[in-house]
Amino acid sequence: MLQKHSDLIMRELRPGDVVLDIGGWAHPFNRANYVMDQEAYDTRGYYNRTFRRNNPLPPLGGTVENFSADTWIQRDICSHQPYPFRDKEIDYVICSHTLEDIRDPLWVCSEMVRIAKRGYVEVPSRLWETCRGFEPGIVGLSHHRWLIDFNGDEISFTMKFHSIHGHWRLSLPRRVAQGLNDEKSVSWLFWKDSFRFREVTLHGPAQVNSLEDFVRSVRPYPNWLVQADSTVRRAGDFLRRASRYAFSR
């Protein structure tokens, strides 16, 4: 979570507000009264125990944990079992860097809207997730399942098709990621009462076309390279069709 947004939320929260952090195991929001995650309370703080141990992330939501082992709800957040809260019982819900990881973000969004009066969502930006260079041979992070777009109060989830890891024209070079600041690396939504969410379903060539269109909108490659690649691919398609025709006669 962006530190400035953590600070903003802390300023807005009232002393008696009940706060829930969904998926906060790796780096919990300390002001939360409840944390809900599949992983155990005793293993919380994964980021600062592993790859950030030599350069720890600053605490989020203050330095004192308001939650405890008793208010740590260990469960599958996508199980389609209603969360253990009444409608609008939670004053503020936080879901930061979780929706991109899970199998059913639409269910989690629907439950957030049901149980909470307001909240905050943060995910890797579409720009960041389309970049190469974080893991060998992988675009974005290998455990992320979705490409996520924000448009006003609507969150759109598009499956991160495996084709994104193939041809370079479907993703962005590492130098793009290296030029992103913290705010360009994430997308976020502050919401009150409700927000909209949907899955974008694509089939056949539309899957690759969608990836290619996004990369083109960023214009990371020189025109001569894009045009040369297009010419080579068209020539390859022609030779394959000609070969099939010749051997079918």
| Domain edges within the chain | 3-218
Give per-residue pLDDT as tens, 4-48.
999 999 999 999 999 999 999 999 999 999 999 999 999 999 999
Give per-residue pLDDT as tens, 216-230.
999 999 889 888 887
- With beta carbons less than 8 A apart as the criterion, state whether 32 and 68 touch: no
Output the CA–CA distances (angstroms, integers) from residue 156 to 102, 134, 171, 194, in the order listed.
Answer: 14, 24, 19, 15
| Band (238; pLDDT cuts 50, 70, 90) | very low
How is residue 152 annotated by DSSP? Answer: T
- With beta carbons less than 8 A apart as the criterion, state whether 218 and 211 touch: no
In a 10 Å sphere around its CB, with 0-12 CB exposed, 13-18 middle and 19+ buried, how is residue 151 labelled?
exposed
Is domain 3-218 in CATH 3.30.420, yes or no? no
Mean pLDDT taken over the chain? 94
C-alpha span between 64 and 180 (Å, rounded) = 31
Entry pTM: 0.91
Give per-residue pLDDT as tens, 51-92.
888 999 999 999 999 999 999 999 999 999 999 999 999 999
Q: Alpha helix (H) ranges present in 13-51?
A: 46-49
